[in-house]
Structures are given as C-alpha cells and as structure tokens.
Amino acid sequence: MHAGRDLAELRTYLDQAATALPDTVATLLADAERRVGAARDLGPVHLIECADTATCVLLASDRRIRALATRLSDRHLGVPADKLDRFRKAALALGHPVT
C-alpha cells in the first residue's frame, strides 16, 4: 500500500502463482482489505494553542468556528490548512486575533 500498489493486484498475483491460497494468507488479505482506509491522511492541519481552557471552549463552541476547527485538548484546536483564513476571521470577530 505504501508503495502505491493495491491489494487486488497482490491477490491476483498470488492467485496466479499458487493453486490455492492457504487460509492464513486469505485471512491476512481479507483483514488488510478491511483495514485499508480505516485511517486516512487528510492533509496539513494547523495547531492553534489557546492561552487557557476558557478561550478554547469559547472558540470551539462558536457556530462559525465549529465548522472550521476541531477541539483537540483543553487548550488546542486543529484547523485544516484550507480553512485557516476563515478560522482567523471568525476568531477575530470574537475578539481573539490569532497570532
């Protein structure tokens, strides 16, 4: 998977190379197919650190910011790179410029 190939290609190769796949190999492939996509890289995220929990709660609960950021901890928000400008504007509107 990391080399850019897919499991179907491996399964096809193994099916052609062997008369029958051992059960353990078939189980391994089925498990790998189930797990593919269970964790995905969605791209860069900006980590916003708030001075205190109250500021983090205020920002994370704002209706505009909820769609732009995810609360990660007591004092941290995650903002996707493509939403950072809108997040900054919404935070500024609440009186919290992001530096």
- List pLDDT tens digits, range 20-32: 888 898 888 889 8
pLDDT value of residue 25? 85
Query: 77 pairs with which residues across the strands?
Result: 48, 71
Give the whole-angstrom CA distance, residue 76 versus residue 94: 17
- Check whether 5 has a pLDDT greater than 90: no
Residue 25 CB: number of other CB atoms within 10 A?
A: 13
Q: Determine contact, residues 88/98, Cβ cutoff 8 Å.
A: yes
Helices (H), the chain: 7-17, 23-35, 53-61, 63-66, 84-93
pLDDT value of residue 49? 98
- List pLDDT tens digits, range 31-85: 988 888 788 888 999 999 999 999 999 999 999 999 999 999 999 999 999 999 9
pLDDT value of residue 98? 96
pLDDT value of residue 3? 77
Alpha-carbon distances, residue 70 vs 25, 31, 39, 55, 77 (angstroms): 39, 30, 17, 14, 5
For 40, list phi and psi in degrees, rounded to 5: -125, 145
